[in-house]
Amino acid sequence: MTFVTLNNRKNGLTTYSPFNELIDGIFNNNLSNNRPFQQTPAVNISETETDFKLALASPGLKKEDFKLNLEKNVLSVSAETKTETNNETEKISRKEFSYNSFSRSFTLPQTADFNHIEASYEDGILKITVAKKEEAKIQSREIAIN
C-alpha cells in the first residue's frame, strides 16, 4: 500500500492511503446521499427438495418498487426508486432528485416449475420461491434386499 502526502488545512501535511479513500467513499457517498441502494443487491440462492429460494438484500425499498419478469427460463428482478427532497428557506428554494435502479437476472434450470413462482418482501429482504417440477423432486424409498 502506497502512502502519499497531501496538503491539509490544519498543519499543511497529512497522510493518504487508498484504504482511507475507500472507507470515505463508502460512508460519505452511501450515508450522506440518503440513497437506499448504490449498487446491485447481494443475493443468497439455496435449493431444497421441493424448490429453489432466492433472497435479495434490498433495504429501504417498498414492494411496489420491484418488478419481476420471467422470459423463457430467465427470471429478472429489477427495482427503481425516485426520491425528491424540497427544502425552502426565505427566498431560496432547493430541490434534490435522486434516481436509483438495479437489475439482476437469473437463469432457472429446466427442473424449475415456471408456473409456480412466489415473491414476498419483508424486513428489507425480497424472497422469491421457485417450485420444482414433480419429476425433479427427490424421491426416496427403501429398497428391499433379496
User: pLDDT of 82-136, one tens digit each?
Assistant: 776 666 666 666 666 677 888 999 999 999 999 999 999 999 999 999 999 888 7
Q: How far is CA 33 from the centre of its chain?
A: 17
Residues in CB range of 121: below 8 A, 6 or more apart: 61, 62, 63, 66, 127
- Give me the chain's average pLDDT, please: 76
- 39-135 maps to CATH 3.30.9.10: no
Can you name the residues that pair with 121 across neighbouring β-strands? 126
Q: How far apart are CA 7 and CA 76, in angstroms?
A: 48
Can you name the residues that pair with 76 across neighbouring β-strands? 69, 105
User: Are residues 104 and 40 in contact, defined by beta-carbon separation less than 8 angstroms?
Assistant: yes
CATH 2.60.40.790 spans which residues of the chain?
A: 39-135
Q: How far apart are CA 112 and CA 28, in angstroms?
A: 42
pTM of the model as a whole: 0.62
